[in-house]
Structure 1
Amino acid sequence: MMEEKNAYTIKFVGLKEGKHQFDYHIKDEFFEFFEYDDFNTADVKANIELNKKANMLEFTFDLTGVMNLDCDVSTEAYDQKIQNRLELVVKFGEEYNDDHEDVLILPWSEYEIDVKQYIYEAIVLAIPQKRIHPGVEDGTLNSEILDRLEDYQPEAENDNKDEEEIDPRWEDLKKLLNE
């Protein structure tokens, strides 16, 4: 596990000014550190570009991949494609400060940065809040739960209209709408 801990640490002190590329393949084990298990499986590629400048670092995190999630409606598992981009500017100062969302201040003495937290946040933010199986949306998913939900749907209001007497003025207005 020690190697895993340092796997997401980028040492920027020895790098020349300019752009540098770092690629990571994120699997299920990555999320154990964060105790995040709100998914079945993960297969995400994280491409990080570091643009080193004389007085600051600019990171661009591009994440693409697939997370296998459980549908909120049917509880059926499905593959959710995810994609996200996160930009981070690292400046140097007297003390550590991460109060701002996209600016991090590191002490002058720092020589490396752990990007694990930023990868994690970018992935979690890319997962939709409401998880709906594509088969639920297009009606192609056959599921016992969906069948049960359909059985408990309220009856259509059209059945009750025959029993009620409708004001003839409303009928005339409806005819105008339909023309």
Structure 2
Amino acid sequence: MKPLKEYTIPFVGLKLGLHSFEYEIGDTFFEHFEYDEFNTSAIKVDLEFNKKTTMLELRFTAKGTVNVNCDVTNEPFDLPIENEFFLVVKFGEEFNNENEEILIIPHGEYEINVQQYIYELIVLGVPSKRVHPGVEDGTLKSDILDKLEELSPKEKTLENDNEEIDPRWDKLKNLLNDK
């Protein structure tokens, strides 16, 4: 996958200290990753970039909404997203991203691309089970919920309790009481 230029930060020209970057993440960003779980998205990612003499510290903060389909009713709804991620970038002999919180890049590097970290920050901020808020508070009216209610098991009525019980069950219940 080709890195997107707007997510590449040339840190060699930056002064030591704190720098801020803002990214507006929309549908085209996720199309680049071929991720189609979101109907639409509007997310703001703030990146606090702290350049130090021997390392870089990156703090990502994502806030916004993604429009997803409910896992229960398949109704689309806007799901608020809020997530944070902290990354330390150190310099070493060769590239190493095995540790999720520490990235090691070669000494000669002069820029870092943050698109993969932004993508993971947003995707991992979405809960694994997405339930429409109307389902949770009972205000959503949909055909699927009506059908689920219709097909759900009903409680026994008193008429069913008065039916004759097979005497073999009584004998089994006596075994439990004979202890």
- Give yes or no for TM over 0.5: yes
Q: Secondary structure at the match of 1:7?
A: helix
Q: Give the structure-1-normalised TM-score.
A: 0.87
Equivalent pairs counted in the alignment come to 164
Matched, 1:19 2:11: no
Matches within 5 A, 1:145-164: 145-157=144-156, 160-163=160-163
Q: Give the structure-2-normalised TM-score.
A: 0.87
User: Could you tell me which amino acid in structure 2 is paired with residue 90 of structure 1?
Assistant: V
Alpha-carbon offset, residue 73 of structure 1:
0.5
User: Could you tell me which amino acid in structure 1 is paired with residue 128 of structure 2?
Assistant: Q
- Consecutive unaligned residues in structure 2, runs of 5 or more: 171-179
Alpha-carbon offset, residue 164 of structure 1:
7.2
CA deviations on 1:125-155 (whole Å, 9 max, x unpaired) are 1111001000000000000011011111011
Q: Percent identity?
A: 55
* Counterpart for residue 175 of structure 1: none
- Consecutive unaligned residues in structure 1, runs of 5 or more: 168-179
* Counterpart for residue 83 of structure 2: 84
Q: Secondary structure at the match of 2:147?
A: helix
* Bigger radius of gyration among the two: 2
* Counterpart for residue 10 of structure 1: 9
Alpha-carbon offset, residue 156 of structure 1:
1.5
Alpha-carbon distance change, 20 to 163 in structure 1, aligned in 2, over 3 angstroms: farther
User: Could you tell me which amino acid in structure 1 is paired with residue 90 of structure 2?
Assistant: K
* Counterpart for residue 112 of structure 1: 111
Q: Secondary structure at the match of 1:29?
A: helix
Matches within 5 A, 1:25-40: 25-40=24-39
Alpha-carbon offset, residue 157 of structure 1:
4.0
Alpha-carbon offset, residue 77 of structure 1:
0.5
Alpha-carbon offset, residue 158 of structure 1:
5.4
* Counterpart for residue 54 of structure 2: 55
* Counterpart for residue 129 of structure 1: 128
Alpha-carbon offset, residue 162 of structure 1:
4.8
Q: Secondary structure at the match of 2:13?
A: coil
Alpha-carbon distance change, 164 to 108 in structure 1, aligned in 2, over 3 angstroms: farther
User: Could you tell me which amino acid in structure 1 is paired with residue 24 of structure 2?
Assistant: H
Q: In the aligned structure 2, how far is the partner of 1:14 from the partner of 1:6?
A: 16
* Counterpart for residue 143 of structure 2: 144
Q: In the aligned structure 1, how far is the partner of 2:126 from the partner of 2:148?
A: 25
* Counterpart for residue 173 of structure 2: none
User: Could you tell me which amino acid in structure 2 is paired with residue 56 of structure 1?
Assistant: M
CA deviations on 1:33-83 (whole Å, 9 max, x unpaired) are 211010100000000001110000000000000000000001100000000
Alpha-carbon offset, residue 161 of structure 1:
4.0
User: Could you tell me which amino acid in structure 1 is paired with residue 39 of structure 2?
Assistant: N
Q: Secondary structure at the match of 1:110?
A: coil
